[in-house]
Amino acid sequence: MHDKKSPMANSHYLKNLKQQFRNKNLIETTIHLVKCNDHDSLAFLARTYGVPPQLRHVVWPILLKYHPMCISPNITSNTISWDPITNDFILNDPFLKSKAPTDKQDKSDDENILPYDIESIILHDLKKYFHSRSNPAGSSSNANTTNIATPTPVSSSDASTISSMEVLSPSLDYEFQIIETLKNAIVKFLLKWSKIFKYESGLAWIALGLAEWYPIYPYETMSPFNETHSFYEVEDYVVLSGRKHALLSTNNGNNGNSNSSSNNTNNNNTNITSGMHNLSINTNTSLHNSPYISHTLSYLYKEYPLPFELRSKLPTKPIFSFSALFERLALVILHCPDTILAHKQLKNDSNASSSSKANSNFNTNYFPIISGGDLSFQTQVFFKVFSSILPELYQPLTEESSLQPSSSRNSWIYWWLKCSGAKALQRQDRGRVWDLLLGWRPKPNMDTINFFLNYNDKKMDHLYHDTPQCDNEQYWMKDWIALYNNDPFWFPDLDSMALGSKKFPYDYSVFKELILRNRYGGTQSKAQKDNTVPSPGSDSNDKSELKLPFSSIDPHMQLIFIFIAILQFNEFKLLEFEEAEIPEFLNNVPLLTKFDDSSYRKLYENTESSITSLPSSPTTSTMASLQSSSNSSAHISNYHMLIEVGNDAKASHCFDDLLNMAGDIWRKWLWRELEESSL
């Protein structure tokens, strides 16, 4: 007698099936785009679908190479601040409480050399990743020794058996070299930027977060980085696998204990570093008979398998050293527009205006919810949205000590907002959040770029394109763009407005137009229509030209609404917590994207089944089935849309659902603000 599956089970199976189709097609498309260096399309996929975890070490350097905030950087300063009373800059006390300055320190500052005690503090913070928590109770492992996963010879016939790894204790020297390399990357950043940014522990955790996806070479200080060196020609590359991964072992006698602990990532905080040894594409390799065994990324490919045929298409030479890539990532995470310049521009425009009301309200007109503000503004918006969207949770949280930390570095708000989820989010969730940051792109014209980067004096629009640049782009990108023909943070008519133009130079001028266009029963005048630009997702008579959708708002503002969505997703759980449990939860958020993570881990299992037998590119039927099941809010046309506020249903363990929830919160909250404003 055949067992009948319940409708719920069938629905779950179909969802997994569609997700596997989509993820496999996404991996193949991403590899194709990497091969032809189509960074515009890669950025689009990163900010909408996310970069497959198997490919972040290849895609992230490309995204950061062309990121506007890296080409024209400006970061928040923790050494100086603007005093509106004296109308001048003042020196801040560093977040790091150091000893009274000595002659040696004063001299080192003048020579742009870091104070003598900074490196020891950096090392102390880095070691917390490896040793801050002991092994699970009952473990015989030394709590002060990390574990390294050493690959053994395997067959390449099955991606799931790419590296059978036995956990061994590395030498202390090897671990020291790993930490030393991370420290040197931070030191290089500080030597370059220390005039405006002093060391904070967030830098250590940003470096560690990058090292969980991008390989580092522990002996970089002894053997300088060379772009001609392949990842696969140099031994001893390392990728960190996260603080909370359980011990992996296929051959030791404690396998049962390891497996049981692996089911609870919150209880096992032992770090595993993946020893990334010689990966060769030479069929005469002396290490293994396999022509292409990835030991350089052995742990990563064990977690997230990638078949031999696809691995062989990946580039082998790194674009950046780890320290260079870390600097670029830090520039994006710590980015801040020039708020002083923005205030001056608003004041000058107000003085030039004949309206005394405009002159008196120029300060209230500065509300850069679209173009982005500094950390203080982001924090203000976060709590403003929090209190508006989740009042039941906001009130008890504001009464708890979790919002009154003794140090900003110990606060979950610090890790969430200033460090973009470093330390507080799980490795998988943080990787997906950073995909969004690194994939952010404004429309490729200087008016729009300067709207977001108001300090910019570089011409860079020629680096970006609004159409895919790969050959046969229709074949690879058409269906993906059809699934997400709008930015997740779209707002009615926002995409059709020429941001940064003379008509819309500031956020408040955009808000005025949005109110005018989206009033219920309102109509769009001819003058309004003349000041619109075509929407990427709109139908055009020219069907041969495929347009990429671009980002609608600043990426750090996007993160605010993603974090609010995380709170909404965990609202009932947080309401039930004891006071002491709340900050622990917020500083160590459990894995949010279980469904996504499981799908990528099991993507190439049962390779003989029909599920995994995909064509070499996305098919119309496959992508059509995905399109029909995708969230409808992402597909609505941009033309004069009136907001329809629906229910914010609790999301499943999928980042797409979380992203859609964040977009809904953004639209709901902003419309409330616009309706209540006096613009």
- pLDDT, tens digit, 9 for 90 and up, residues 33-63: 999 999 999 999 999 999 999 999 999 999 9
**Which secondary-structure segment (H or E) carries 240?**
strand 237-240
Percent over 90 (pLDDT), the chain: 41
Question: According to the model, what pLDDT value does residue 349 have?
Answer: 75
Q: Is the pLDDT of residue 311 over 80?
A: yes
More confident residue, 349 or 198: 198
DSSP string, 357-388: HHHHTTTTT---TTT---HHHHHHHHHHHHHH
pLDDT confidence bin for 3, thresholds 50/70/90: low
Q: Which residue has the higher pLDDT, 213 or 277?
A: 213
Confidence of residue 677 (pLDDT cuts 50, 70, 90): confident
CB 248 within 8 A of CB 167: yes
Would you state the pLDDT for residue 308?
87
Residue 622 lies in a domain: yes
pLDDT at position 472 = 65
Asked if residue 164 is part of any domain, the answer here is yes
- Of 315, 333, 351, the residue that ends a domain is 333
Summarize pLDDT for 156-184 with one digit per residue, the tens. 333 433 434 443 444 566 678 889 999 99
Regarding whether 249 and 169 lie in a shared domain, the answer is yes
**pLDDT attached to residue 440:** 98
Altogether, the residues listed in the chain come to a count of 679
- Whether the per-residue pLDDT at 580 is higher than 50: the answer is yes
Instruction: Quote the CA–CA distance of 382 and 368 in Å, as a whole number.
Output: 13
Strands 272-276 and 147-151: parallel
Kindly tell me the number of DSSP H helices and DSSP E strands found in the chain.
28, 6
Quote the pLDDT of residue 373.
93
Residues 664 and 531 in one domain: yes
pLDDT at 443: 96
pLDDT at 632: 41
pLDDT at 427 over 50: yes
User: CB–CB of 407/415 below 8 Å?
Assistant: no
Do the domain assignments include residue 104?
yes
Q: What letter would DSSP give residue 416? A: I
Q: What is the mean pLDDT of residues 188-207?
A: 94
Q: Residue 181's beta-bridge partner residues?
A: none
Q: Is the pLDDT of residue 107 over 80?
A: no
Which amino acid is residue 349, in one-letter code? D
- Residue 618 within a domain: yes
pLDDT at 539 over 60: no
CB distance 203 to 186 below 8 Å = yes
Same domain, 538 and 567: yes
Residue 421 pLDDT class (50, 70, 90 cuts)? very high
Q: Which two tokens stand for residue 57?
A: 């070490």
Q: E strand or H helix at 26, and its extent? A: helix 7-35
Tokens 């205030």 belong to: 343
Contact between 252 and 291 under an 8 Å Cβ cutoff? The reply is no
Query: Which DSSP symbol is given to 165?
Result: E
Print burial letters for 626-647: b (CB count within 10 Å at least 16), e (below 16).
Answer: beeebbebbeebbebbebeeee
Out of 317, 333, 349, a domain closes at 333
Q: Report the range of poorest mean pLDDT among 8-22, 350-364, 646-660.
A: 350-364
Q: Is the same domain home to 298 and 185?
A: yes
| pLDDT at site 229 | 54
253 versus 300: which is more confidently predicted? 300
Arithmetic mean of pLDDT over the chain: 73
Dump strand ranges (E) for 424-473.
Answer: none
Whether residues 96 and 164 share a domain: the answer is yes
Whether residue 209 is predicted with pLDDT greater than 90 in this model: the reply is yes
Indicate if 207 and 309 belong to the same structural domain: yes
Question: Which pLDDT does position 500 carry in this prediction?
Answer: 93
Q: Are residues 438 and 459 in the same domain?
A: yes
What is the predicted pLDDT for the residue at 478?
A: 81
Task: Quote the pTM value.
Answer: 0.79
Domain membership of residue 27 (yes or no) is no
* C-alpha–C-alpha distance, residues 212 and 432, integer Å: 13
Is 262 domain-assigned? yes
- Least confidently predicted of 195-209, 214-228, 497-511, 529-543: 529-543
Give how many domains the chain has, as a whole number.
2
Does the pLDDT value for residue 362 go beyond 90? no
Confidence of residue 431 (pLDDT cuts 50, 70, 90): very high
Residue for token digits 């980002």? 551
Mean pLDDT, residues 314-324 taken together:
89
Q: How far apart are CA 407 and CA 414, in angstroms?
A: 10
| Confidence check: pLDDT of 420 > 80 | yes
Percentage, residues of the chain above pLDDT 70: 60
DSSP structure class, residue 84: T
Element (H, E) at 174: helix 172-193
Q: What is the pLDDT of residue 42?
A: 96
Same domain, 316 and 258: yes
Q: Are both 529 and 650 inside the same structural domain?
A: yes
Question: Is residue 528 over pLDDT 60?
Answer: no
The two tokens of residue 629 are 């099941």
Better-scored residue on pLDDT, 530 or 551:
551
Residue span of the structural domain in which 185 resides: 80-333
Residues 412 and 537 in one domain: yes
Residue-level pLDDT at 630: 45
In a domain? residue 66: no
Given this model, what pLDDT does residue 542 score? 45
Closest CA to 630 of 3, 19, 7: 19
Q: Decide if 472 is inside a domain.
A: no
Query: Residue 99 pLDDT > 80, yes or no?
Result: no
Tell me: do 367 and 320 sit in the same domain: no
Are 196 and 319 contained in the same domain?
Answer: yes
Token match 């399109």: residue?
Answer: 627
Burial call 26-46: b when 16+ CB within 10 Å, e when fewer? bbbbbbbbbeeebbbbbbbbb
What average pLDDT does the segment 146-152 reach? 35
Query: What pLDDT is attached to residue 330?
Result: 98
Each as own residue / partner, the long-range contacts of residues 140-144 (CB below 8 Å, 24 or more positions apart, any chain) are 140/254, 141/169, 141/247, 141/270, 142/169
User: Which residue among 316, 333, 350 closes a domain?
Assistant: 333
